[in-house]
Amino acid sequence: MANVLITGGTGLIGRHLVPFLRGRGHQVGVLSRSGRPVAGARMFSWQPEQDRLNEEAVRWAEAVVHLAGANIGEGRWTEQRKQEIFDSRVRSAELLYRAAEQAGARLKVFVSASATGYYGLVTQDQPFRETDPPGRDFLAGVCTAWEQAADQFSELGARVVKLRTGVVLAADGGALPRFAGPA
């Protein structure tokens, strides 16, 4: 089984992914800014906003799942907040790439979250396809840069997978409680 390193391991998707992977026999590591332990995971520190990462994490990993990103549903989209949304996804992916390259990491796969926001705030009568061009709004720009940052990992010999998820709905978080309203 593989050593899988997860960013965003304490977030909504990451909290579910860690036990899922462990249940299938994988060793799981989590890059954490807070140092808060995640049950069953090896913890590594990083501060992507300061370009700091424990390089042992990328040397240890065979696969990386990059889920880190500021919640787009929280707070007003001031210029500062928009920069935080961008940096938490793109700058952190670039930091992972630099660290992996410098450490001589032998990653087999790099899985990056992205979003259906890639297509922009457009409605159409037909479903979107992966080959459709990106939109032209802020989130589309974030997703495009995020995916380009992920694509760099192919230069290290890693297979690159990009997950364009929609709104995340879960009983324990995400957008569902807001959509459901008061009980």
pTM assigned to the model = 0.90
Task: Give pLDDT, residue 24.
Answer: 97
Strands 169-170 and 173-174: antiparallel
Cα 109 from Cα 4, distance rounded (Å)? 9
DSSP-derived secondary structure for 30-68: EEESS----TT-EEEEEEGGGTEE-THHHHH-SEEEE--
What domain range includes position 19?
Answer: 3-180
Cα 151 from Cα 154, distance rounded (Å)? 6
In tens digits, the chain (183 residues) has pLDDT values of 899 999 999 888 999 999 999 999 999 999 999 888 899 999 999 999 999 999 999 999 999 999 999 988 888 999 999 999 999 999 999 999 999 999 999 999 999 999 988 888 766 677 777 888 888 999 999 999 999 999 999 999 999 999 998 877 666 666 556 666 666
Residue 156 sits in a domain whose CATH number is 3.40.50.720
Contacts of 45 (CB under 8 A, 6+ apart): 31, 32, 33, 35, 52, 53, 54
Task: Give pLDDT, residue 174.
Answer: 62
Q: How many domains does the chain have?
A: 1
